[in-house]
Structure 1
Amino acid sequence: MIPAATCIAEASDAYHVQTAAIDAVIAHGLPAGEVRDGRVGPMAIPVQWLPVFELMGIKTEDVVNGECQNILAGTWIMAYMQAIQPMQADGASYAAGRYSVRFPAWLQARRQAWAPVVQRAAQLTGIPAALIDAVITVESKYNPAARSGKNAIGMMQLLETTAALIGGGNPRNPEDNIMMGSKYLAQLATKFNGDLPLTLAAYNAGPGAVTKRGYRIPPFPETQAYVPQVIALYSYLQQHP
């Protein structure tokens, strides 16, 4: 049996959640294999999360019965709640499903400056403005000059090959970049029947990576951290536009 401390360290490294925060949750958790009051195992994972893990290719019985798998899954949820820094992800907020976002002044100014373009992209593509906002914030923090190590471009971090398939603009132009990235999100949402986790996983890792794994979130650490970050921020922005 793998010691719990090893599992905690692995989960902390994978999802960038402090070990102290994980320890705080486990202190109020359940034994592996135990289900009580709608919660499961050492991380007391709410049972409504189990279908999400099934989409990721993680079997319910593994989350319920496996100590390490439960710790990894619970830490993934904490990453979801943590979203972008500085979100709070302590034991109390994990249990209650509460979190807050405090944008730095410079990022808030960028969001406000580009809000009209985001709204227009939402109207043209049918993708909610809050989701476009969340994707841009996580992808680039609204930096028009952002470029990734894989040469993804601009605020919505579009690859040249992807931009060429989307068409309709120049990905190096910030406004076009937002429009094209939103159009791509709409295409992926259609392909994956509106399933938000799979749409976001495809945006991050490519649709082929999702379909090849049986329409599940690919087992890439970056993607499995990216999906909860965007969803958490999107959920927050829907309530706090």
Structure 2
Amino acid sequence: MHIDILTLFPEMIEGVFNSSILKKAQDKNKFSYNLVNFRDYSVNKHKKVDDYPYGGGAGMVLTPQPIFDAVETITKEKSSKPRVILMCPQGEPYNQKKAEELAKEENLVFICGHYEGYDERIRKHLVTDEISIGDYVLTGGELGAMAVIDSVIRLLPDVLGNQESAPEDSFTTGLLEYPHYTRPADFRGLKVPDILLSGDHAKIYNWRRKESLKRTYERRPELINSHTLSEEDNKLLDTLIKSDE
């Protein structure tokens, strides 16, 4: 996978891309990236990339010319048309399903905005996706883009040390992940559940499934409504509901 990121502040991103899992993924040649300061594409003699909005109003709006020219330049030699993603609070709410979808692409282009917003022609005629990482406003799209990219890269084959990690993550299964414990078995009188020490894999699986349902029911009950439950899951869920009554 190759990723291009259009940003006015490339220094914000370099540290993240050269640390932890993202650095290891690059070392394994699982992805490459290119930071593009779209100010470099401005034809304005002062290299301005924003202007006052037509019709009045507070703030400045990113002009279309530098962003159009930047995207067209970096994509003109690509063999397939990349997904061009606009980071925007008005965009599609981001989730694990979207991460899995994007992880199948060979080329991704992220546009990170600042100021009051984007000229609408960027939305309508340049991008393929608009993504929001939550119902709040950041000073720019870089933090959101980094969150999306991290969630996508970790899904690429052989990026994670344990290939079973990603399929069991919260949201990948449709439910929140079950609780985890590690050594020591007894820490200050706080003990690991006996079943996890039993060595009985079938019982451990059932315990984890029950705890996953319980945690989802207690913390994110709306996820259960969109998830297909087995007959056994429904029995467990009925028990949880009755215990709350």
Q: TM-score, normalised by structure 1?
A: 0.35
- The structure with more strand, counted as a fraction of residues: 2
Q: Which structure: larger Rg? A: 2
If each structure's helix is expressed as a fraction of its own residues, which one has the higher value?
1
